[in-house]
Structure 1
Amino acid sequence: MQTVASILWRRLDAPGHDACRLERNASAWQLDGAAVFRMEDGRIGQLHYRVRCDLHWHTQWGTVRGWLGEAAIDLSITRDARGHWKLNDEAVSDMSHCVDLDLGFTPATNLLQLRRLNLEKGESADAPAAWVDLDGGGVLSELMQRYERRSESEYAYEAKRFDYAQVLVVTPDGFVKDYPRLWTAER
């Protein structure tokens, strides 16, 4: 893998940081990162993550390893060619319409949707994602998201499940650099 871009974020709603790099080879894209943070309930977490996509930005697999409070985290998520998802080798039903993996503890995975959608200014699209819920014990469920490209670097973003709607500002590489109320890129 060859590194294409990297970024360091600072969490805004709680103490924390995340470092991620985007890599590529002849057949795949990959996010490789690590996040350290404090949850709302006071637990401290340290998680390493990796997400692999094909050249068209369709998620193939992801891993999350580390700890959250007293609990060890070791998740393996796969999506086969027919769109079927598995979490730690157990099938997850009703998720085949989700193309993207969203790791809720990091802003890194928004890059996957933005790159795959490749929206022109003024265009919008729904992007349902397979979302890793760490608060729920590491389950995989649907997260409905919507993006609308406003300019070269701005996207209106909405995730109704969390009553969240803001304008995200992205880098030329596609990383979110300003995620209002949640994350900002270190400058």
Structure 2
Amino acid sequence: MMETALWKRLDVTGHDAARIETVPGGHLLQGTAVFRHEDGPACVSYSLDIAPDWSTRRGLVQGFAGERAFALEIVRDADGWTLDGVAQPGLAHLMDLDLGFTPATNLQQLRRMPLAIGEAADIKVAWFDVGAERLVELPQYYRRLDESRYAYRGFSYAATLEMAPSGFVKLYPELWEME
């Protein structure tokens, strides 16, 4: 299985391209987001190693935002999460990594916990965004409205997400739209 996506950012100038593929031992999600960040132009490549059950094992995030370059490794193992080898306390119970700068990382939560129409789930994820110095716990709420739409809530954002047949978000209102 391989699926690809291209999104246009709606709140600032930007794009993101991603692909998910089945590989021996799980799945690989890769992409690159290019967008206007508060620090200046940003180019961020990401790669997530995802287990067969759709839980995240490892993430790599590298690129730049303005004049600041970065290359980060995020790992989940039996002891919990680390960010560049530094333990991230209180997050060991979280299974998913959500990257705040891309719409691509809602896919694994919904694949791991498929919802029937009318069902809802509270899913807590390890969340990371460009410029952050640590992972934080992000409570997310999903309620499946029909074949392709989910009511979503996370932090102070709430909207109805439209999903593509690939499993990627098609429309993240006011933030991202698939092209």
Q: Give the TM-score normalised by structure 1.
A: 0.92
Match of 1:165 among 139, 158, 166: 158
Label 1:26 to 1:135 Cα distance change in 2 as closer, same or farther (>3 A): closer
Residue aligning to 1:107:
103
Q: Which residue of 2 aligns with 1:55?
A: 52
Identity of aligned residues (%): 46
User: What code does the residue aligned with 1:30 have?
Assistant: L
Q: Which digits, 9 at most, give the CA deviation of each residue in 1:6-30, with x for residues without a partner?
A: 0100000000000000111231111
| Residue aligned with 2:117, SS | coil
Which residue number corresponds to residue 32 of structure 1? 30
Asked whether the equivalents of residues 88 and 134 of structure 2 are also in contact (C-alpha less than 8 Å), the reply is no
In the alignment, residue 143 of structure 2 is paired with which amino acid? E
Conserved? CA contact 2:94–2:125, under 8 Å: yes
**CA shift at 1:43, angstroms?**
1.3
Partner residue in 1 for 2:81: 85
The Cα shift of 1:42 comes to: 5.4
Q: Residue 43 in 1 paired to residue 43 in 2?
A: no
Q: What is the alpha-carbon distance in structure 1 between the residues aligned to residue 125 and residue 111 of structure 2?
A: 14
Residue 151 of structure 1 corresponds to which residue in structure 2? 146
Determine the structure 2 residue equivalent to 1:4. Answer: 2
Contact in 2 for aligned 1:95/1:130 (Cα 8 Å): yes
Structure 1 CA distance, aligned partners of 2:79 and 2:119? Answer: 25
Q: CA deviation at 1:83?
A: 5.7
Please say if residues 83 and 98 of structure 1, whose CA atoms lie closer than 8 Å, have aligned partners that are also in contact: no
Task: Give the aligned residue type for 2:137.
Answer: E
More strand by share: 2
| Segments of 4+ moved more than 6 angstroms | none
Cα offsets for 1:150-178 (capped at 9, x unmatched): 1110011001x2x1110000011210010
* Structure 2 residue runs without a partner (length 5+): none
Contact 1:133 1:141 in 2 (8 A): no
SS, match of residue 127 in structure 1: strand
Q: Does the 8 A contact of 2:25 with 2:51 survive in 1? A: yes
Shift of 1:133: 3.0
| Closer/same/farther in 2, CA of residues 16 and 95 from structure 1, 3 Å limit | same
Per the alignment, in what secondary structure is the counterpart of residue 118 of structure 2? Answer: coil
Counterpart Cα distance in 2 of 1:75 and 1:130: 15
Contact 1:83 1:97 in 2 (8 A): no
How many Å separate the matches in 2 of 1:20 and 1:12? 17
Partner of 1:142: 137
CA 1:12 to 1:83, structure 2 compared with 1: closer, same or farther past 3 Å? farther
After superposition, what is the alpha-carbon deviation per residue over 1:50-105, rounded to whole angstroms, capped at 9, x for unaligned? 0111111011000001101111111100001x361010011110001211001000
